[in-house]
Amino acid sequence: MPNTSSTTRKLVITAVLIAISIVLSIPLNMGPFISLGFIVIGPTIAITIMHVPAIIGAILEGPLVGLVVGGAFGLFSLFLASQQPAGSPNAIFVDPIISVVPRLFIGPVAWAIYVGLKALGMQVRLISSAIAGTLTNTLLVIGAIALRLNVPFLATLASVSVNVALELIVAAIIVVAVVSALRGAASGRSGSSV
């Protein structure tokens, strides 16, 4: 049975990461920011970091926390989609197979990679986990869209390939920075590398 302080820590980290996921998802429509977690760069490129809290939660506290944070992200995206007009491109996310189910796997996959690469250096593990979690989000959401809307998977994936490449880089930078800072603070060595 886990001790009380460990359980409390898990609950607090889960709640904070869910709150961050929600804040990242709230529509802003200010300049290049559709939301804090969805940034438009030019006419055809948009990147998201809304999935990153699920990756961080899994690395810090395990696959269940990653699953819960990813599920909350998915539920909130479903809620936001339900508020969109019928013809909106985001209206497809009202389908939980597209908006929720893929997001449940972000954290557990990132955690499995993080744990599976324990023989490697910490930064390699963090970067690999960020990449795995990001690809999980992208591939499963695009796969669900292809399945539910009967559109070609590879053509859809190709249409967002530049976005995905940028998301992989940004997610890796954020995960390394945040996890390193939190681990450094937790060990009393602010700024130490992980």
Can you give the CATH number for the domain in which 20 is found?
A: 1.10.1760.20
How confident is the prediction for the chain on average, in pLDDT? 86
Mean per-residue pLDDT for 178-192?
A: 73
Q: Please give the model's pTM, rounded to 2 decimal places.
A: 0.87
Tell me, yes or no, whether 110 lies in a domain. yes
pLDDT band at 33 (very low <50, low <70, confident <90, very high): low
Residue 186 included in any domain = no
Residue 188 lies in a domain: no
Q: Is residue 193 part of a domain?
A: no
Domain that holds residue 130: 4-179
Nearest alpha-carbon partner for 106 in 149, 82, 78, 71: 71
Cα 144 from Cα 127, distance rounded (Å): 26
Is 190 part of any domain?
no
Do the domain assignments include residue 69? yes
Higher pLDDT, residue 75 or 32:
75
Count of the separate structural domains present in the chain = 1
Output the pLDDT for position 43.
62
* 185 in any annotated domain: no
